[in-house]
Amino acid sequence: MTYNKKSIEDICVKDKKVLVRCDFNVPQDENLNITDETRILGALPTIKYLKEHGAAVILCSHLGRPKGEFNPKYSLAPVAKRLGELLGCEVKMATDVIGESAHAMAASLKSGEIGMIENVRFHKEEEKNDAAFAKELASMAEIYVNDAFGTAHRAHASTAGVANYLPAVCGFLIQKEISIMGKALSDPKRPFVAVLGGAKVSDKIGVINNLLEKVDTIIIGGAMAYTFIKAQGGSIGTSRCEDDKLEYASEMLKKAADKGVRFLLPVDNLAADHFAADATPVVVDSEHIPENMMGLDIGPKTVALYEEAIRDAGTVVWNGPMGVFEFEAFAGGTRSVAAAVANSNAISIIGGGDSAAAVEQLGFADKMTHISTGGGASLEFLEGLELPGIACLQDK
């Protein structure tokens, strides 16, 4: 899927009311203090641009899972307050989403001013992409901007529905996501290496299948690897495995062979006799995982093999950890792969979710070309699926 969408730079926003869908789904502690403001910081370039170019900016987002009901625990007011501090100006906060307060706030906003409506998921109509709700949201503005990549794979009222009623373009965050990932998929610098890990083959079936059409090398790690090893006839002990995906795994191995794609699986593993942070890691070859042991990380020979494959890559796309990185004893494989990607000269694209968290936690974030802000959305992008929150925007 390649997108060539209009951005806020392609339209005139001066003196226009602009509804901007952001991803302000920030983590909070029990006192509702924001514990990680990365997503707010990520939204700043688009908001600043709109403010500086004379738009009246109406921000909206979801936060948590309020299940269609008003709930102060999920209010966006703390986000509005923090955003105001970061921008050095007032961010007017409405007390509802499409009610009197929101409409009054939107109507009173002057050019260069910023306001925010409440959590769109306070209405169950949001996730149902209800047309009347989308129309109400749209009625407050003259232009719609989507900058919430993390929810772009969802067809909700505020992520896609509103585009039926307003001219719709993307903000800088979405623009960056689609240009970097789009280029990697359509015209990658080669060799193109995909590193896929994590818990389940079933989550990444579409991604593996699509990437096999495009990459030169696929590297598999994490629990996922054991389904492939078993499909090849290996004995995997008590390692996690999806028996109903063995056939699929064989098909993918065959497809890789037919297409001349190098398909790398772990040759050795760090295994343990139980799943726990204090379990003692033992190095075992993939062909000989003892019956009572489970693979919890890639082993040293595999690390060397994967490092070698990543070293000369032109493009690396990485999604999913190589092992149970939450346990220090089994974090080494993920750390080594992160270091290899960071130290290569490749264009490096890190899928959101666990791999993004691992890269941040391990201190390699600033060495990557791009860390996607959306886990599910980036996976669907790599699968080649159409993302409703992007497809609905105007083409250039």
Q: Which residues are catalytic?
A: 39, 200, 353, 376
Q: Which of 96, 142, 307, 326 binds ligand AMP (CB under 6 A)?
A: 326
List helix spans (H) across the chain. Answer: 38-52, 77-87, 100-108, 131-138, 172-186, 201-211, 224-231, 246-259, 300-311, 332-343, 353-361, 375-382, 388-391
Taking the complex as a whole, how short is the minimal distance between the CB of residue 13 and ligand AMP, in angstroms?
38
Q: Does 203 bind ligand AMP (CB under 6 A)?
A: yes
Q: How far apart are CA 40 and CA 34, in angstroms?
A: 10
Contact 252, 212 (CB under 8 A): yes
Q: How far apart are CA 334 and CA 355, in angstroms?
A: 9
Taking the complex as a whole, how short is the minimal distance between the CB of residue 172 and ligand AMP, in angstroms?
27
Taking the complex as a whole, how short is the minimal distance between the CB of residue 203 and ligand AMP, in angstroms?
5
Contact 332, 306 (CB under 8 A): no
Taking the complex as a whole, how short is the minimal distance between the CB of residue 29 and ligand AMP, in angstroms?
22
Q: Does 237 bind ligand AMP (CB under 6 A)?
A: no
Comparing CB distances to ligand AMP, the nearer of 296 and 317 is 296
Q: Per-residue string for binding with ligand AMP, 216-235, x by CB under 6 A?
A: ------xx------------
Specify the stretch interacting with ligand AMP by CB under 6 A; choose among 29-37, 90-98, 230-238, 317-325: 317-325
Compute how many other C-beta atoms are within 10 angstroms of the C-beta atom of residue 383.
Answer: 17
Residue 378 structure tokens: 């980036």
Comparing CB distances to ligand AMP, the nearer of 43 and 208 is 208
Q: Does 199 bind ligand AMP (CB under 6 A)?
A: yes
Q: How far apart are CA 146 and CA 323, in angstroms?
A: 35
Q: Which of 295, 352, 388, 389 binds ligand AMP (CB under 6 A)?
A: 295
- Chain positions 115 to 174 lying near ligand AMP, rule: CB under 6 A, are none
Residue with tokens 């999604």: 319
Contact 172, 8 (CB under 8 A): yes
Taking the complex as a whole, how short is the minimal distance between the CB of residue 353 and ligand AMP, in angstroms?
6
* Rg of the chain taking only CA atoms, in angstroms: 23
Q: Does 296 bind ligand AMP (CB under 6 A)?
A: yes
Q: Which residues bind ligand AMP (CB under 6 A)?
A: 198-200, 203, 222-223, 240, 295-296, 320-321, 323-324, 326, 353-354
